Amino acid sequence: MTEILKTLRLFLLLMCHHPEVQTRLKAEVDTIIGTERFPCPEDRKWMPFTQAVMLEIWRYGSQTPLSIPHLCQKNVELDGYLIEAGSVIFPNLYAVHHDEVTWGDPWEFRPERFLNEAGELLPSDHILMQNVIPFSVGKRECPGQDFARSRIFVTMTSLMQRVQVVPPKNSNLPPADPRLYSKAYPMTEPQFECRFLSRENIII
Ligand code: HEM
């Protein structure tokens, strides 16, 4: 659950920093969901930009930077390297998510990178999709990911339906750049305040 909260906190901070992304999210929410019903997880398949924002938050923030350590139980050879039995492996998701060769501009928050020219989500075999792995990969990948993906989607879209997220009036908004997060484990984005302004014409 903490991980869901961390994603939502970073979402709010990034919306304060990127009003243009928020405007585009709201436009997608208004078109697909409207103002007369609650969002549901099934709406996701018609909302590529919202999905791209979620992927970009997970990539950019890399909230579980070193995943969960694993113990290697027997000698394994991988790509010419010997990993000895008894070694502890820390999968470096943060490095995968910020590799300049893969991403080009990894320190930019740019959800559009996950969309093609027609505004559709890239196919799952695209190199960028293969390299966004917030829930890790393989047999031990996060068992809570379907739950997390659907809850985060419903919360984000419900907020976009109802409020405008804006920076605080009388205090500074900290930067969202992950290079500046606390290096304690797990890595944590800074504390911040923001304001919710009610949107007009909401029926539900
Ligand atoms: C944005 C939300 C979340 C993120 C980014 C996330 C990420 C991860 C990652 C990277 C791992 C390590 C996988 C590995 O060892 O290879 C993991 C493991 C795990 N996650 Fe999540 N998680 C999230 C939400 C959740 C939720 C909501 C639940 C439960 C309802 C959950 C339950 C677990 C459990 C039980 C494991 C350990 C699995 C094992 O060791 O076999 N996670 N998660």
The confidence score (pLDDT) of residue 106 equals: 98
Write the residue with the smallest CA distance to atom 37 of ligand 1: 142
Distance from Cα 181 to the centre of ligand 1, integer Å: 21
At residue 67, what are phi and psi to the nearest 5 degrees?
A: 45, -135
Query: Which residues contact residue 150 at a Cβ distance below 8 angstroms, ignoring those fewer than 6 apart?
Result: 41, 44
Q: Kindly report, residue by residue over 115-147, the tens digit of the pLDDT.
A: 999 999 999 999 999 999 999 999 999 999 999
pLDDT score recorded for residue 199: 84
Over residues 143-160, mean pLDDT:
97
Q: What is the mean pLDDT of residues 153-178?
A: 94
pLDDT band for position 57 (50/70/90)? very high
Take atom 25 of ligand 1 and give the residue whose Cα is closest. Answer: 144
Closest CA to 74 of 83, 66, 65: 83
Least confident of 63-72, 79-88, 175-184: 175-184
Quote the mean pLDDT of the chain: 94
- Domains (range + CATH), the chain: 2-65+92-198 (1.10.630.10)
